[in-house]
Amino acid sequence: MINQVTLVGRLTKDPELKTTPDGTPVTQVTLAVSRHFRNHNGEIDADFVSCTLWKKAAENTVHYCRKGSVVGITGRLQTRNYENREGKKVYVTEVVTESIRFLSPKPQERPTVKKEEVPFTPTMNREEVPF
């Protein structure tokens, strides 16, 4: 059987790093993936796909990506279910990411200008001031 997903899209919000109780880094992101056709209003719709990243991929994504960053991911589709607080069964479908590529250009960093403190030395003596 084959279970492989490849997506390219934009992050819908800044990723946040979390850790499991055993200390494994994890982040969950939503990827907005544009469709390849226009709807009846002439607009391009998008699908919003939940993706889970683990370990170094999660750490790097949190460090290098922000809302709107374009990323490419490959992974596998996974479904799970659980009971919520009201006792209702909730089904979740997500992509468990195996690799990620950062496709947005690096954000331009402003060069830090180190200001040196130079002591003020007047160019004229007090006696030379005309007033």
* Residue pLDDT, tens place only, 73-124: 999 999 999 999 999 999 999 999 999 999 987 765 545 545 455 454 455 5
Question: What's the rounded Cα separation, in Å, for the pair 115 and 111?
Answer: 12
* Each residue's pLDDT tens digit, 17-37: 999 999 999 999 999 999 888
Strand-pair partners of 77? 95
Instruction: Please indicate whether residue 55 or residue 108 has the higher confidence score (pLDDT).
Output: 55
What's the mean pLDDT when you consider all of the chain?
84
> What integer pLDDT is reported at residue 127 of this predicted model?
57
Q: What percent of the chain has pLDDT over 90?
A: 67
> What integer pLDDT is reported at residue 113 of this predicted model?
46
State the amino acid at position 75 in one-letter form.
Answer: G
Q: How big is the CA angle at 11 (ends 8 and 77), to the nearest 5 degrees?
A: 55
Instruction: Please indicate whether residue 39 or residue 110 has the higher confidence score (pLDDT).
Output: 39
Residue where the block lists tokens 């390849």: 36
> What integer pLDDT is reported at residue 126 of this predicted model?
52
